[in-house]
Chain A
Amino acid sequence: MLNRDHVAELFPFFFRLDDAGRLRDLGASLRKVVPDAEEGSQAEALFLVKRSALRLDPAALREHLDQLVLLESRESGVMLRGRFLEVEGRLAFFGSPWFRELAELEGRGLAFSDFALHDPMPDTLVLLQAVAASLRDTARLAERLRGLRDEAERANQAKTDFLAVMSHEIRTPLNVVLGMTELLADTPLDDDQRRYVDAVEGNSEMLLRLISNVLDVSKLEGSQLDLERAPFDPRRLVDDVVAGFGPRARAKGLALRFEADEALPTRVLGDAARTRQVLLNLLGNALKFTHAGAVAVRLSSTPVDDEHVQLRLEVEDTGIGIAEEKLGAIFDRFVQASSSTTRRFGGSGLGLHIARSLVELMGGELGVRSRVGEGTCFTLDLRLEHGDPTRDSRTVVRPPGDVPLAAPLEVLVVEDTPDNRTLMGRFLAREGCGVTLACHGAEALERLEELTPDLILMDVEMPVMDGLACAAAIREREAREGRPRVPIVALTAHALRGFRERCLEAGMDAFLTKPLQRAQLRATLHRWGPKASRLSAPARCSVGRG
C-alpha cells in the first residue's frame, strides 16, 4: 500500500538494515542527527542501543520487534526513538529523534520541515518551552507577592507597636485622672459637683476599657499575650461575674439567671482573668442588646479523661438577635452586626474579636447561634486540666470589700511621676498605711538603708535607676545582709509580653497594671500585707509619711 516515497515522506529519519547490519535507504533528515551515517555504514558503529536488544544485530532485533527501541548516535548523542519492523523480509527502523529543549533543534540545524507533519516532537518542545516560561512567571509572581506580604506585615506590626505605645501613653495620665477623681469623690461635694465627678469617673472608666481593648488587640495580633495557668473555681468565677451584672439587669427589668451543673469541678487550671474577661464581654453584650425578657448563664462540664474536663458556658438572651448573614462576621475586628447597631448601642466592635481570640488562644471555641427578634446564644467550650483542690485559687482575687487590714502596713512607693506619687500616697494613707515615697530606684535604696517596709510598690520605668535594677539591688542586699525579704509589687502601665517575666526575674513578686484601682490596691495590701513572713522582720523603723 505504501510505496518508498510515502515512507520517505512519513518517516524522514527512516533507515533499513541489511542482513549484515548495514544501513540502507537513509531518510532525508537522518544525517542531521546522525552526521556520520552513510549508505552502507555499519549500524553498530553508529549507534549505542539503549533499549530493546543488546546489539544491532538483525537476528537479535527480530526477537524484539514488538518493543520500543532507543538508539543513541555515538557521534551526536541524539537519541532516536521508534521501532523496527520487518518489511518484505528486511528490518526497517521507523521513528524520530527525541529532544528535551527547543534550543537543541536549532543547534543541530533542524527545521520544522525536517520532521514529518504528524510528528508531535517539535510541538512538544514548544509546549515544554511555554510551560517552563510559565513556571518562571509564576515564580516571579510568588516572589512579588512574598515581598508585598512582608511589606504588609511590617506595616501591620508598625501599627500594632504604635497602638501599644499609644495605649500605654494614654493609660498613664488616665491613671491620674481616675485616681484623683476617686479622691475627689471622697471629699464633701454638693449635688451638682457630685454629678460632675460621677460623669468624669464614668467616662474615664469607659475610656480605660476602650484603651484596654485596643491594647489587647495589639497584644493578640503581635502574639504578645501570655496566658496564666493557675487553679481557679469556675463556678465561683461565673457567679461573681453574674452577680456583678445584677444591678444592671434589675435596672433594665431583665431576669438574670445563673444555672450551674452540680458536678462542676471546684478547681481547674487556666487563666481566670481572661476567662472572666470573655464572660464579661458576652454578658455585657447580652444585657446591652436585650430589652425585655431574660439573660441566662449556664455552666456545665463533661469529664474528658482523668486529667481533663470540658467546660461549657452558655450566655443566652431574648434580645434583638443577629441576622444569619452577619453571624460569620461578628467576631471580626471593628465589626458590629450593623452600622446602625454602632449608632444605637455604641461600642468599638473589638469586644467579640478579643473574646474569640482569647478563647482560641486558650485552645477553646466560641460559637454563636441567633435568630433575629428572638435572641442570641453564645457558647464557650474550654478543655481544661483539673486543678489541685488542695491548693487555693491564686488568680480569683475576691474583692476584700471593706474588711480593714489586720495591721497597718508600712509601704514604700517608688514612682517618678509626681501626680502618681501623690495619688498612691493618698490612696495608701486612706487605707491606713504608713507611706514612704521615693522618686526613683536610687532614692528607694537610700530609704531602705534605715527602713524595712511591709511592701514595696515599684514603678518600672524611672530615671536614675529603674524598677528592675532597683529590685535586683534590693534582693542582692537582702541576701548579702541576711535581711528579710520584702515583697515587691511592680506597678506599671506597661502590659506587654515579657515585661512581667522581666519583673519577676529582677526579684519582684507580683505585677500590677496601672491604672491601679482601689479594689486592686486593697487586694494587693491584703495579699502581701500581714503575713507570717513578717514574723522574721526586725522591729519596724519609723517612716516618713507621704
Chain B
Amino acid sequence: MYGLVNKAIQDFVTREHGPEAWERIRVAAEVDVLEFVCMSPYPDDLTYRLVAAAADELAQPAETVLEGFGEYWIRFSAEEGYGELMHMWGSSLEEFLGHMNDLHARISMVFPELRPPRIRCEALSDDMLALHYESDRPGLAPFVTGLLRGLGKRFGRALQVHHDAARTAEAGHDVFLLHGV
C-alpha cells in the first residue's frame, strides 16, 4: 500500500486516541517507519499489522477499526489535498460512485503500484443500489463499509450501508446495499 494509506491510519489513531497510542501501535506492529511518505509504496503486510495492533491497543475488533478508518479516509484524503479530486468526480454520491473506476484508473497513472478494486453499481430502486466490489486484497469489506459511510457524509446523505453476506456469497465478490442514495 502507498504511504498515504498508512499515514491515514497514523493520523486517524493520533486524532482519536493521541500520539502515545499511535506510538504503542507502531512498536507493537514492529513498524520502524517514523514518517510515511505518501508516494512511497510499503508492503501490504505492514498495513495489516498496523490494523491488528490498533485493534489490540483500542480493544476493538479489527473490523470496527477498519470501518472507522474507512470513514476517516474520506476526510483525510480531502485534507491532504485530494478534496478537489473528489469534488471533480461528481456533485452527487451517485455520480461519484459511477465515476469510481475512472477515478481509480487515473490515480493508478500517478501511483503505478496501485491495485485498485473494480466497482459496479446496480440500481435496485429509486433510493437503493447494490455496489459490487471486487478486490484482490482480502478482508477489506469493513473498510469499504466505512468508506461508503464517509462518502455519504461528504455528500450530505443519511446513507445506510449494509454488507450483504448472502449476495456476497452468491456473487463471489463483496456486495454492499446502499439505502438513501
Give A contacts to B, CB under 8 Å: 102-103, 105-106, 110-112, 120, 122-123, 126-127, 129-134, 137-138, 140-141, 144-145
In the assembled complex, the Cα of A313 lies from the Cα of B124 at a distance in Å of: 90
B163 to chain A, nearest CB (A): 29
| New contact pairs (16) apart from A103-B81, A122-B88, A133-B81, CB-CB < 8 Å | A106-B83, A106-B87, A106-B88, A112-B89, A120-B109, A123-B109, A126-B106, A126-B110, A130-B39, A132-B81, A133-B38, A133-B80, A134-B38, A134-B40, A137-B3, A141-B34
Those of B37-74 within 8 Å (CB) of chain A = 37-40
Question: Which of B3, B34, B35, B83 is packed against the most chain A CB atoms within 10 Å?
Answer: B35
Q: Which residues of B contact A110 (CB under 8 A)?
A: 88
Q: Which residues of B contact A129 (CB under 8 A)?
A: 81-82, 85
Q: Which residues of B contact A130 (CB under 8 A)?
A: 4, 38-39, 110-111
Q: Which residue of B lies closest to A120 (CB)?
A: B109
Neighbour of B85 across the interface among A102, A120, A133, A137, CB < 8 A: A102
A106-B37 contact in complex given A122-B106, A127-B109, A137-B7, C-beta closer than 8 Å = no
B18 to chain A, nearest CB (A): 18
Q: Which residues of B contact A127 (CB under 8 A)?
A: 109-110
Write out, one digit per residue, whether chain B residues 89-119 have a CB within 8 A of any chain A CB (1) or not (0). Answer: 1110000000100110011011100000000
Q: Which residues of B contact A145 (CB under 8 A)?
A: 34
* Interface size counted on chain B using CB atoms at 8 A: 29
Per CB-CB distance, the 5 closest pairs between chain A and chain B, nearest first, are A141-B35, A134-B39, A106-B84, A137-B37, A127-B110
Q: Which residues of B contact A106 (CB under 8 A)?
A: 83-84, 87-88
B134 to chain A, nearest CB (A): 23
In the assembled complex, the Cα of A527 lies from the Cα of B109 at a distance in Å of: 82
A-B contact list, 6 entries, CB within 8 Å: A105-B84, A111-B91, A112-B89, A123-B110, A126-B106, A127-B110
In contact, A111 and B90 (Cβ under 8 angstroms): yes
In the assembled complex, the Cα of A130 lies from the Cα of B99 at a distance in Å of: 21
Give B contacts to A, CB under 8 Å: 3-4, 7, 34-40, 80-85, 87-91, 99, 102-103, 106-107, 109-111
Q: Which residues of B contact A131 (CB under 8 A)?
A: 39
A150 to chain B, nearest CB (A): 15
Which secondary structure dominates chain A's binding surface? helix
In contact, B37 and A112 (Cβ under 8 angstroms): no
Q: Which residue of A lies closest to B83 (CB)?
A: A106
In the assembled complex, the Cα of A134 lies from the Cα of B36 at a distance in Å of: 9
Q: Which residues of B contact A137 (CB under 8 A)?
A: 3, 7, 35-38
In the assembled complex, the Cα of A137 lies from the Cα of B33 at a distance in Å of: 12
A144-B35 contact in complex given A106-B87, A112-B106, C-beta closer than 8 Å = yes
A20 to chain B, nearest CB (A): 37
Q: Which residues of A contact B80 (CB under 8 A)?
A: 133
Neighbour of A144 across the interface among B34, B37, B87, B99, CB < 8 A: B34
In contact, B38 and A103 (Cβ under 8 angstroms): no
In contact, B106 and A123 (Cβ under 8 angstroms): yes
In contact, A102 and B84 (Cβ under 8 angstroms): yes
In contact, A138 and B37 (Cβ under 8 angstroms): yes
Q: Which residue of A lies closest to B106 (CB)?
A: A123
Q: Which residues of B contact A141 (CB under 8 A)?
A: 34-35, 37
Q: Which residue of B lies closest to A145 (CB)?
A: B34
In the assembled complex, the Cα of A511 lies from the Cα of B82 at a distance in Å of: 69
In the assembled complex, the Cα of A272 lies from the Cα of B90 at a distance in Å of: 81
Question: Which of B3, B37, B84, B106 is packed against the most chain A CB atoms within 10 Å?
Answer: B84
Neighbour of B81 across the interface among A102, A105, A138, A140, CB < 8 A: A102
Q: Which residues of B contact A103 (CB under 8 A)?
A: 81, 84
A112-B35 contact in complex given A105-B88, A130-B111, C-beta closer than 8 Å = no
In the assembled complex, the Cα of A112 lies from the Cα of B83 at a distance in Å of: 13
Q: Which residues of A contact B89 (CB under 8 A)?
A: 111-112
B35 to chain A, nearest CB (A): 4
Q: Which residue of B lies closest to A126 (CB)?
A: B110
Q: Which residues of A contact B35 (CB under 8 A)?
A: 137, 140-141, 144
Q: Which residues of A contact B83 (CB under 8 A)?
A: 106
